[in-house]
Structure 1
């Protein structure tokens, strides 16, 4: 379980938990994310029942929101409504930092720990491989995070449901808690 001040690292990117879902009884989760220049653009995805509110505190960020490219700089605030396909990245050249609130929290802390931890350790690549890890992530986090695949979501769920037993039998897990990546910073 994430605690305020816990930090996840992904290469030069950093995510710090500011307010956890335990502190808000699940109402929201708040983090600070810091992205290196020209960070990798994450896949287009959406959150079926969650709203994201972000405020850029330094640098600039690009947001692809429902097919429309937008740029934000320090002081800008924006919202991403539920079910809206989007991707967010730092186009460079300086570091970018945002305060990010997800409402309601659901299991978003575990999403961050799992995706950042597996990717940081080379166990999950930006292209979604290894293939057999994906069914467990799709099923485990379907209320929090869905990648836009071009296929109907129910078809993705059916395919993942069929593959999940094989994934589990081969030792893949639906969630992951990074051991070496996690460190606690003093709360301020």
Structure 2
């Protein structure tokens, strides 16, 4: 699918660019916004005319919902604390680790809990429905249907629903790494009641996740060695609470 690129990976807002298909700061040619295959979508829970629907598998407490899209079963990962709902489109296994593609749904008022960065991954959002707001460093970017925001490697960012309706975005993460497992870990903690009222996990559980997925997510502007030194004792505490061993 096509789309109008809103922000280049160098941080240039292309809506103010004199060359709408190219970045005036880094001269990158933006011939198209979406680089993956054309993946048509029907939101989970609806029964479109082509027979797509959402089904529930056995009432399991974890990963219990499966979306049927174009005749294929796709897993749904949902965080009941943050409101994030993820429908997996392409997995790391299916793309040889090149990328992880998912549809992100956010209800009105929902947003990620805190600013974060991806040390070695680029993240691309193409808004399909509703409106979203992004913060890239100090830049605030609003995006609507057909617009794409690219978050460069290592860039601190935050995003949320900026409208009054459910927002939907197609998200590509390159390379895939263990991003899907990271989302699963957050869902598991949320359903187990390991989150505080701030939408963040308990500090010890957060430490454990940040250490386990340090290639996928990081705390902005804090040296990794300092993070590891501070979080390691807390992660050990989380393992003890969970009944694990070193």
Task: Using structure 1 for the length normalisation, give the TM-score.
Answer: 0.82
Aligned partner of 1:141 in structure 2 is 213
- For 2:163, what is the secondary structure of its paired residue? coil
Once the two structures are superposed, what CA deviation does each residue of 1:117-160 show, in whole Å capped at 9, x if it has no partner? 32244322345342211221111010001133x64332111111
How many residue pairs are counted as aligned between the two chains? 171
**Runs of 5+ in structure 1 lacking a partner?**
174-188
* Structure number with higher relative contact order (C-alpha < 8 Å, ≥ 6 residues apart): 1
Q: Measure, in 2, the Cα distance between the counterparts of 1:127 and 1:17.
A: 23
Deviations 1:68-127 (A, max 9, x none): 111000000121111100001002211100000000000000011111332244322345
> Aligned residue for 1:61?
132
- Is the counterpart of residue 52 in structure 1 residue 123 in structure 2? yes
Checking the alignment, whether the CA contact within 8 Å between 2:133 and 2:161 is kept in structure 1 is: yes
- SS where residue 110 of structure 2 aligns? coil
Question: In the aligned structure 1, how far is the partner of 2:142 from the partner of 2:113?
Answer: 16
> 2:78 and 2:206 mapped to 1: Cα distance?
21
Residue 41 of structure 1, CA deviation: 4.1
CA RMSD of aligned residues (A): 2.1
Cα 1:153–1:127 change in 2 (3 A) is farther
Residues 79 and 186 in structure 2, CA contact (< 8 A), matched pair in contact too: no
The range that moved more, 133-142 or 6-15, is 6-15
Check 1:172–1:147 CA distance in 2 against 1; reply closer, same or farther (3 A cut): farther
Any unmatched runs of 5+ in structure 2?
A: 1-62, 67-72
Partner of 1:9: 78
Richer in strand (by share):
1
Which has the higher Rg, Structure 1 or Structure 2? 2
